[in-house]
């Protein structure tokens, strides 16, 4: 009694005719499977059955649920004399869940695909209590259906839902509502085509209400392999209908692929007996207090009789018997199936839904109907834990073989949050595994609980060291590892946090833990912990900026001279990404946007929608790898408004990548050469501002970090522009950090850099100084003034350095001939003259004659002031003035 079973108290049938319901009886297994892989992706689980087997009726392989799908519950078999009432052999065994409120099966699926999931329940008095239970069935965190088996000992109940998988697993959970022990007899998962059921989306699903084959010849349910999606088509018979059938092939109309019906279902249909005019169908939902629901329907029909010239079949449809209006009419096409359907859900506010098909006046033949599908549309919840955290919790549970009743989504729904955890906004902020008999090392997966603030592992048998990764948990405020068997020292990263007051730790009762610093020992009675955490949060906010600034400087100094490079274990803005993350971010390295110093640069989008540029070192060359390390190291430790922000990095063995914020404005070189559209042509004042911003960035590198960083490759193609045309210095692959700023003023290196920008003194002497950057900056400034590249071809087709060209013209005193003609004279001649002076102060061949970046910044600010008071510029960003004034007072900001 499949249909009746799944719909509880419902009545289905013509209004005055007894309802005829049909049990599955024999399942058809007529065809051999011709496409070998038609059942690709099917998961068929016979719950509580310990053997795998091939189902004789369908030819489908059913597997036992003993390994992997579920880790709680007891297995049972219904008595042999009850087997006859089960629809199929999957009803014989079951898994019951006497312990815990929520128990879940976990099904692995493909993300962003649609699936049909069917669960069945055959009580069969398996527990000899004659007391069928009532419980709730959930898919992930949403109530799928209530399962009411009371009074239905001999009924095999099937429930079906079609869903969109927004993660690569799904939980099917039974929840004890206090009315008996929940159980499951079988679980089936069938992939659907992407274009099927378009209303099944990431925020709504279809719960099957009814799927019927109208008036088939044989009283049997059709499913796989007749229906390649293994949907059940239950016979629907009515006394007022007669069966029409054909042996001819019926095709689905080309626009009808969203609700496909199998051909064998379409080959038979029902029509009113004795040339009656109507097909009346009533659907009644179970009586409950739900007053409103959204449904979706598809009524399938096809003309299966060959009509003579004086015959016609036309019919209208009405959603109520009383409706007499002549609605739009339909006529079925010969041997072509189509369906009646409304592309938006229909709101139904009563327990009944009627459908009448009535022949039109001029039609000689009555309506016909092959099949019908009715679904209730349910919203799916977005309020679920992040996938990474769920995975992490599953791993933790597995690695410690926890008997805890941790099932389904950790943080949702609210009344079923896992024991020992606390959540905020569906993220785990507290994990208490105190006194759980944990043994082995501290689980690595804890590192994926990024929002964790409170971790209690006390009073277990944990051994090994306190792992480094705990210092990556930026929010961690309280860590209790006391009364274990840990050894070694407390990791450096944690010590710093403890000293800085970000973290409280308890570690007493670990005899082998090395205690070096008595500063660290901060033991706080559990009673006041909560208060302290609140206090710390407040304090952290207050001291955050100051601490962080100092911290950044400390790190740079620390990592100097260590030789080997280590990514900073603590950096507030940067994310460690995996190669898989990179694939997701870049859509599988889909869009190349450039060729960087040591790899290809791809466009990408982070989960939060931020556009990024991903610089990927594809082949592990030693030089490239060195440059990568340098750049990663630098950008994770320095922050300035004119240095391109690093969003994250990937440091896996064969995949090194840096992820920066994507600079929508492109690079300065393209702007100046005019290869970027004229709309964003930069005016004189923008050019001065960009020069100032680059200068400020460089000044910060040279002085701002208490250690001198030399970029070594300043050029217009390494200056990127944000949406508002703010300049950002990029590409730190060649950069050098001075060992000790006080003792040394230069270092000897291999000469690296770009022709045209290369400091002549450095080229000669191989002695690198910060003034080398000043020279390169001077060239950039000249490019901004002249609009010409760093190396130009003169009239004689000779290559000549821009600096030399400018000198030669300047010697003749002709400023107007130097300034970029593309500016159309829209600049203040005084500020242009001053800018040229500044450039000259940068480009003497002797470094000692060059100004420092700090002086250049001051000069450029003055120069810009002249222009701001006199010139006009339509491209200047509106909030620039405000920023500019800020800068004058505070100097470079450290983010």
Ligand X SMILES: *[C@@H]1O[C@H](CO)[C@@H](O)[C@H](O)[C@H]1NC(C)=O
Query: What is the Cα–Cα distance from 834 to 353, expressed in whole angstroms?
Result: 83
- By the rule CB under 6 A, 63 interacts with ligand X: yes
In the chain, what is the greatest distance between 2 CA atoms, to the nearest angstrom? 112
Report CA 557 to chain centroid distance, whole Å: 37
C-alpha 358, offset from chain centre:
49
Distance (Å, rounded) from C-alpha 702 to C-alpha 719? 17
Kindly state whether residue 34 participates in binding ligand X, applying the rule CB under 6 A.
Answer: no
Tell me, by CB under 6 A, how many residues bind ligand X.
38
Contact window for ligand X (CB under 6 A) among 142-150, 183-191, 198-206, 467-475 = 198-206
C-alpha–C-alpha distance, residues 77 and 231, integer Å: 26
Contact (Cβ atoms closer than 8 angstroms) between residue 133 and residue 179: yes
With beta carbons less than 8 A apart as the criterion, state whether 849 and 778 touch: no
User: Would you say how long the chain is, in residues?
Assistant: 895
What is the radius of gyration, based on Cα positions, of the chain? 37
Residue 311 CB, nearest approach to ligand X (Å)? 7
Write down the number of H helices and E strands in the chain. 16, 50
Cβ closer to ligand X: 352 or 799?
A: 352
Decide: is 219 part of the binding site for ligand X (CB under 6 A): yes
Residue number, nearest CB to ligand X: 362
Question: Does position 296 bind ligand X by CB under 6 A?
Answer: no
Residue 871 binds to ligand X (criterion: CB under 6 A): no
Catalytic residue among 713, 731, 820, 828: 713
Residue 794 CB burial class (10 angstroms; 0-12, 13-18, ≥19):
exposed
Asked if residue 56 binds ligand X (CB under 6 A), the reply is: no
Stretch of 306-314, 685-693, 756-764, 841-849 contacting ligand X, by CB under 6 A: 306-314
Report if residue 572 touches ligand X, rule: CB under 6 A.
no
Q: Shortest gap between Cβ of 386 and ligand X (angstroms)?
A: 19
Stretch that binds ligand X, among 83-91, 276-284, 623-631, 841-849 (CB under 6 A): 276-284
How is residue 232 written in tokens?
């059940």
With CA atoms as reference, report the closest residue to 299 among 374, 192, 206: 374
Backbone angles phi, psi at 698, to 5 degrees: -70, -40
Contact assessment for residue 121 and residue 147, using Cβ atoms and an 8 Å cutoff:
yes
Site for ligand X contains 329 (CB under 6 A): yes
Paired strand residues for 43: 189
Q: Rule CB under 6 A: is residue 310 a binding residue for ligand X?
A: yes
Q: Which of 131, 177, 284, 360 binds ligand X (CB under 6 A)?
A: 360
Q: Which of the residues 444 through 473 are near ligand X (CB under 6 A)?
A: none
The answer to whether 181 contacts ligand X (rule: CB under 6 A) is no
Q: Which of 75, 125, 134, 201 binds ligand X (CB under 6 A)?
A: 201
Kindly state the tokens that stand for 224: 């796989």
25 touches ligand X (CB under 6 A): yes
- Choice between 347 and 745, CB closer to ligand X: 347
Stretch that binds ligand X, among 303-311, 488-496, 501-509, 567-575 (CB under 6 A): 303-311
Assess 344 for contact with ligand X (CB under 6 A).
no
**Cis before residue 531, ω within 30 degrees of 0?**
no
Q: C-beta of 372: minimal distance to ligand X in Å?
A: 16
Kindly tell me which residue out of 30, 362, 608, 890 binds ligand X, with binding defined by CB under 6 A: 362
Active site residue 686: no
Give the x/- contact pattern for ligand X in 245-274, rule: CB under 6 A: ---------------------------x-x
Q: Does 278 bind ligand X (CB under 6 A)?
A: yes
Question: What are the distances in angstroms from CA 307 to CA 242, 266, 314, 317, 363?
Answer: 18, 18, 12, 21, 12
The residue within the footprint of ligand X, chosen from 321, 469, 579, 589 (CB under 6 A), is: 321
* Separation of alpha carbons 666 and 725, rounded Å: 9
| Selected range binding ligand X among 59-67, 427-435, 482-490, 567-575, rule: CB under 6 A | 59-67
Q: Rounded distance, CA 801 to CA 813, Å?
A: 19
Is residue 67 a contact point for ligand X (CB under 6 A)? yes
Spatial strand order in the sheet of 454-456: 421-424, 427-432, 454-456, 478-480, 504-506
d(CA 76, CA 94): 5
Q: How far apart are CA 444 and CA 246, in angstroms?
A: 64
Q: Which stretch, 9-17, 454-462, 498-506, 715-723, contacts ligand X (CB under 6 A)?
A: 9-17
- Asked if residue 22 binds ligand X (CB under 6 A), the reply is yes
**Quick check: 306 binds ligand X (CB under 6 A)?**
no
Write out the binding residues for ATP. Answer: 615
Position 364 contacts ligand X (CB under 6 A): yes
Residues taking part in catalysis: 713
What are the residues binding ligand X (CB under 6 A)?
14-16, 20, 22-23, 25, 51-52, 63-64, 67, 201-203, 219, 237, 240, 272, 274-276, 278, 280, 288-289, 308-310, 312, 314, 321, 329, 331, 360, 362-364
């Amino acid at each position: 009694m499949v249909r009746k079973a799944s719909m509880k108290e419902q009545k289905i049938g013509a209004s005055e005719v007894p309802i005829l319901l049909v049990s599955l009886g024999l399942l058809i297994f007529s065809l051999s499977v011709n496409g070998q892989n038609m059942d690709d992706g099917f998961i068929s689980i016979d719950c509580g059955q310990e053997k795998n087997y091939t189902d004789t009726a369908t030819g489908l392989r059913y597997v036992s649920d003993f390994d992997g799908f579920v880790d709680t519950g007891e297995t049972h078999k219904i008595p042999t004399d009850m087997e006859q009432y089960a629809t199929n052999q999957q009803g014989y065994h079951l898994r019951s869940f006497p312990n815990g409120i929520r128990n879940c099966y976990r099904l692995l699926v493909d993300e962003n695909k649609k699936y049909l999931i069917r669960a069945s329940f055959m009580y069969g008095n398996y527990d000899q209590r004659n007391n069928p239970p009532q419980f709730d069935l959930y898919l992930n965190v949403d109530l799928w259906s209530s399962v009411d088996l009371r009074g239905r000992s001999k009924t095999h109940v099937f429930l079906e839902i079609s869903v969109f998988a927004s993660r690569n697993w799904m939980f099917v959970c039974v929840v004890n509502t206090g009315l008996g022990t929940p159980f499951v007899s079988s679980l089936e998962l069938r992939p659907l085509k992407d274009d099927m059921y378009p209303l099944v989306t990431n925020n709504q699903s279809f719960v099957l209400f009814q799927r019927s084959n109208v008036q088939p010849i044989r009283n049997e349910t059709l499913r796989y392999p007749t229906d390649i999606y293994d949907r059940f088509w239950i016979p629907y018979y009515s006394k007022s209908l007669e069966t029409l059938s054909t042996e001819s092939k019926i095709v689905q109309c080309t626009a009808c692929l969203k609700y496909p019906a199998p051909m064998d279902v379409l080959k038979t249909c029902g029509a009113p007996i004795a040339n009656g005019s109507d097909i009346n169908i009533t659907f009644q939902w179970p009586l409950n207090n739900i007053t409103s629901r959204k449904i979706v329907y598809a009524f399938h029909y096809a003309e299966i009789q060959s009509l003579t010239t004086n015959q016609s079949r036309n019919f209208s449809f009405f959603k109520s018997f009383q409706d007499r209006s002549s609605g739009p009419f339909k006529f079925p096409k010969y041997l072509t199936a189509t369906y009646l359907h409304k592309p938006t859900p229909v709101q139904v506010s009563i327990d009944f839904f009627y459908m009448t098909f009535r022949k039109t006046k001029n039609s000689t033949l009555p309506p016909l109907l092959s099949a019908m599908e009715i679904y209730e549309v349910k919203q799916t919840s977005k309020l679920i834990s992040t996938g990474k955290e769920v995975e992490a919790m599953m791993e933790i549970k597995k690695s410690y073989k926890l008997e805890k009743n941790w099932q389904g989504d950790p943080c949702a729904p609210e009344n079923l949050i896992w024991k020992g955890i606390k959540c905020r906004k569906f993220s785990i902020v507290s994990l208490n595994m105190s006194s759980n008999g944990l043994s082995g090392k501290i689980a690595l997966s804890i590192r994926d609980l990024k929002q964790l603030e409170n971790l209690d592992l006390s009073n277990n048998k944990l051994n090994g060291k306190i792992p480094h990764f705990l210092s990556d948990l930026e929010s961690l405020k309280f860590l209790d590892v006391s009364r274990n068997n840990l050894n070694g020292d407390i990791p450096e990263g944690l010590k710093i946090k403890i000293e800085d007051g970000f973290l409280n730790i308890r570690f007493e009762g670990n005899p082998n833990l090395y205690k070096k610093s008595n500063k660290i020992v901060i033991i706080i009675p559990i009673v006041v912990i909560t208060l302290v955490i609140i206090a710390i949060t407040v304090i952290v906010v207050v001291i955050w900026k100051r601490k962080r600034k100092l911290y950044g400087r400390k790190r740079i100094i620390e990592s100097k001279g260590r030789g080997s490079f280590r990514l900073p274990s603590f950096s507030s803005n940067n994310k460690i990404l995996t190669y898989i993350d990179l694939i997701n971010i870049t859509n599988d390295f889909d869009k190349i946007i450039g060729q960087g110093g040591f790899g290809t640069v791809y466009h990408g989008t982070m989960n939060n929608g931020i556009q990024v540029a991903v610089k990927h070192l594809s082949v592990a060359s030693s030089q490239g790898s060195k440059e990568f390390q340098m750049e990663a190291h630098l950008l994770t430790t320095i922050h300035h408004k004119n240095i391109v922000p690093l969003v994250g990095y990937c440091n896996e063995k064969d995949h090194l990548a840096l992820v920066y914020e994507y600079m929508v404005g492109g690079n300065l070189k393209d702007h100046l050469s005019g290869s970027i559209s004229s709309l964003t042509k930069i005016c004189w004042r923008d050019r001065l501002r960009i020069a100032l911003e680059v200068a400020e960035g460089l000044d910060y590198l040279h002085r701002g970090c208490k250690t001198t960083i030399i970029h070594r490759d300043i050029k217009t193609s390494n200056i990127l522009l944000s949406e508002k045309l703010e300049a950002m210095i990029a590409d730190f692959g060649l950069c050098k950090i001075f060992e000790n700023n006080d003792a040394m003023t230069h270092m000897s290196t291999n000469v690296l850099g770009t022709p045209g920008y290369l400091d002549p003194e450095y080229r000669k002497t191989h002695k690198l100084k910060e003034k080398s950057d000043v020279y390169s900056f001077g060239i950039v400034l000249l490019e901004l003034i002249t609009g010409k590249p760093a190396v130009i071809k003169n009239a004689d087709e000779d290559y000549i350095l821009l600096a030399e060209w400018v000198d030669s013209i300047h010697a003749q005193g002709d400023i107007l001939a130097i300034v970029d003609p593309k500016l159309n004279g829209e600049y203040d001649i005084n500020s242009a003259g001053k800018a040229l002076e500044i450039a000259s102060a940068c480009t003497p061949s002797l470094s000692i004659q060059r100004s420092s970046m700090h002086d250049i910044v001051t000069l450029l600010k003055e120069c810009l002031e002249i222009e701001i008071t006199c010139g006009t510029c339509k491209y200047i960003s509106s909030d620039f003035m405000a920023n500019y004034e800020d800068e004058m007072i505070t100097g470079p900001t450290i983010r």
